[in-house]
Chains A and B, each alone.
Chain A
Amino acid sequence: MPENVRTLYSEKVMEHFRNPRNVGDMEKPDGIGHVGNPVCGDIMELYIKVKDNTIVDAKFKTFGCGAAIATSSMVTEMVKGKTIAEALEISNRAVAEALGGLPPIKMHCSVLAEEALKSAIDDYYAKRK
């Protein structure tokens, strides 16, 4: 980041915002999470691939603010290699903390990330039945 640019976000958030990990579609995902943010109207989609009860890959698409993009990116990084049970433990606070914190007004965007993950896991269970 050029030194003269100051933003309302931490360096870590900006890093994920600039270079989001795991963006895009996934071929034949095992679970798809689709959530809308009731607060400001943003949308997040999260796709997971599961093998032996472990999330082996995750991708996302997000229509939202800087915090929404960074938290989507971070949550996809965090779930990779985790068992479903472990993934369900990931809270929005944990995502925000991993990003070096979020401004209070942006915490609701991290909730979106947590919900997108849960929705993807729900979808995975629903599809398995």
Chain B
Amino acid sequence: MKPIYLDYAATTPTHPEVVKAMLPYFTEVFGNPSSIYSYGLEAKEALEQARAKVANLIGARDEEIVFTSGGTEADNSALKGVALANESKGNHIITSSIEHHAVSETCKFLEKRGFQVTYLPVDEYGLVNPEDVKKAITVKTILISIMYGNNEVGTIEPIAEIGQIAKEAKVYFHTDAVQTVGHIPIAVDELGVNLLSMSAHKLYGPKGVGALYVRKGTRLVPFLHGGDQEKKRRATTENVPGIVGFGAAAEMAQREMGQEAQRLTHLRDRLIKGILERIEDVRLNGHPKRRLPNNVNISFNFVEGESILLNLDLEGICVSTGSACTSASLEPSAVLLAMGLSHELAHGSLRMTLGKWTTEEEINQVLEVLPRVIAKLRAMSPLMKK
């Protein structure tokens, strides 16, 4: 039997339809889009069609989409790009304490180069308070970067409210929407963002391709210097097959998102409810309602996440955890700690993220296996007092 995959937030399989759309661009239409003969022009055309599809998915104009190698590059380019281009205006950046490493590590890097960064706290659900953003703004503030949907706990941040505040203060606003794009409807104008990061492999596109939405007029330095590609914003020969795949995935998401979000929300809530009913001493992490349709994150008291994960793997279920034991730094998830969880609860956290191929039967299977695994581990836990 194929293992049950419940880690769609880590990556999604590339949809067969997407692969099919990509294939000709490896072999037949292999031209360099910068070349002006037929092979090149055909590739260029495909590139621009894909750009239109991605733009369409988030309500942007085509020329506001800059393709990148993924979400991490989009985040890096947004932050460093704005910081370097606006140094003369100020050196202050506002972000949250639950950002993806692609944002938080970039902020730390910028701090070492003389920028000042405010890391806003979050509440127990992982929500940033827009009022805190407002209060943190100074004359020196050049950028606000707050993620849209959190990759670990699924909490959806009040982006539109923050966008309004940023607009009034005339400060650039970036959001990392890697987990959100293609999963819930997005319109950049409603959000009031200047910059928005996306990644293709989180919405059934290929790995190695993403994009940064850059609102017209936003000042930032080029991501890569060199040729004239991407209107001189990012040099390097374009990853045509990857970008075509991103376009196909964006088109598919636009078509299916509404129904799929409903289906996943139903499965998500069944899984959450099922676990809360069957297992004692558990805690749902993240917001119960303001939550990505596919995210379940639960802490199990008295047990450690890697040993839950391994036991589930042996039973053919693939999940992830915020436990210190599975991170290279041996630090527990910073997101969970920022939400006020103790080390122990962060240790026993499990993330299950659902997707296109998740079925009702799979959820039933998890609900059958998980209580057994937790009971087994609790029986050997010194924290479990009889």
Query: A interface vs B, CB < 8 Å?
Result: 1-2, 4-5, 7, 9, 14, 17-18, 20, 23-24, 34, 39-45, 60-66, 68-69, 105, 108
Residues of A within 8 A of B326 (CB): 65
Residues of B within 8 A of A43 (CB): 382-383
Q: Are A39 and B330 in contact (CB under 8 A)?
A: yes
The interface residues of chain A, by DSSP majority, are classed as mixed
Interface magnitude class on chain B: 20 to 34
In the bound assembly, the distance between CA atoms of A42 and B302 in angstroms comes to 10
Q: Are A65 and B323 in contact (CB under 8 A)?
A: yes
Chain A residue at minimal CB-CB distance from B326: A65
With beta carbons under 8 angstroms apart, the residue of B310, B324, B382 that contacts A66 is: B310
With beta carbons under 8 angstroms apart, the residue of B307, B330, B380 that contacts A40 is: B330
Q: Mark B326-344, 1 if CB is under 8 A from A, else 0.
A: 1010101000000000011
Q: Are A62 and B381 in contact (CB under 8 A)?
A: yes
Q: Are B3 and A63 in contact (CB under 8 A)?
A: no
B375 at the interface (CB under 8 A from A): no
With beta carbons under 8 angstroms apart, the residue of A5, A44, A64 that contacts B325 is: A64
Q: Are B325 and A65 in contact (CB under 8 A)?
A: yes
Q: Are B307 and A69 in contact (CB under 8 A)?
A: yes
* 15 A-B residue pairs with CB within 8 Å: A4-B3, A20-B380, A39-B330, A41-B324, A41-B332, A41-B344, A42-B304, A43-B382, A44-B382, A45-B382, A62-B380, A63-B347, A63-B381, A65-B325, A68-B304
B313 at the interface (CB under 8 A from A): yes
Q: Are A18 and B314 in contact (CB under 8 A)?
A: yes
Q: Are B380 and A5 in contact (CB under 8 A)?
A: no
Q: Are B382 and A62 in contact (CB under 8 A)?
A: yes
Q: Chain B's nearest CB lies how many Å from the CB of A9?
A: 8
Q: Are B310 and A41 in contact (CB under 8 A)?
A: no
Q: Chain B's nearest CB lies how many Å from the CB of A48?
A: 15
In the bound assembly, the distance between CA atoms of A60 and B382 in angstroms comes to 9
Residues of A within 8 A of B380 (CB): 20, 23-24, 60-62, 69
Give the contacts of B344-386 with A (CB-CB under 8 A).
344, 347, 379-383
